[in-house]
A = this chain, B = another copy of it.
Amino acid sequence: MHRVKVRVVEDALDANNTIARANRDDFDRHDVTVVNLMSAPGAGKTTLLERVLGGLGDVRAGVLEGDVQGSYDADRLASLHVPVTQLNTDNGFGGECHLDANMVRSALPALPLGEIDLLVIENVGNLVCPAEFHVGEDARIMVSSVTEGEDKPLKYPLMFRTCELVLVNKIDLLPHLEFDMERFLHHLEAVHPGVPRMLVSARTGEGIDAFRDWLLELPARREVPA
């Protein structure tokens, strides 16, 4: 990469981080815990949210849906009766492949921050660029479906390295795949040693209680001084 290009990229990420901190301040002012949910296309992010957001008890959740185009996932979540805000990235180009801090910032006026405790930002389905852009979140969760193969941590290391939790989804399909879980977890450990991981099936509900507990405990973990 040419030095000029590296400089432009570094400047862009600096600017992004500045805006991410402003988002963070706004979230803090409203005492909202924020999760950035990332995965490849079709790994099951929305189905996981359908499973988990209904059972959060007193914790009031909201969703910011990032998509290149359309409101397909937001429409699916409408039946949950949680506030869902759509954010499309296709403004004036083929479409941005990720959310950045400024896009999230532009959606803040549409988010009912005073009425929620937990905001889940469902990022654009992509294993590369979303990992490069912080948006002001407290934690990053990445979903990896067993149908994608065991090699994904090795091929997309930054994504697996920058998250606080890995959900290994679609484990109901394991009997029908040649997926070697031990090998996947070995690759994951090589890329991000010790990262918490949960084996789940958004379809059958297996493992979802543990994921829900993790979400419910997140605000408390966030407040523990470093």
By a beta-carbon cutoff of 8 Å, the part of chain A in contact with chain B is: 1, 5-6, 9, 40-42, 67-70, 72-73, 91-97, 124-129, 131-132, 145, 147-149, 151-152, 154-158, 170, 173, 176-178, 203
Q: Which residues of B contact A156 (CB under 8 A)?
A: 41, 68-69, 125
Beta-carbon contact of B93 and A9 below 8 Å: yes
Q: Which residues of B contact A69 (CB under 8 A)?
A: 154-157
Q: Which residues of B contact A148 (CB under 8 A)?
A: 41-42
Beta-carbon contact of A145 and B95 below 8 Å: no
> 8 interchain pairs (CB within 8 A)?
A9-B92, A68-B158, A69-B157, A125-B156, A126-B127, A145-B147, A147-B173, A173-B177
Q: A40-B40, A41-B40, A149-B42 are in contact. Are A70 and B128 (CB under 8 A)?
A: no
Beta-carbon contact of A155 and B97 below 8 Å: no
Residue A147 contacts which of B42, B91, B92, B158 (CB distance < 8 angstroms)?
Answer: B42
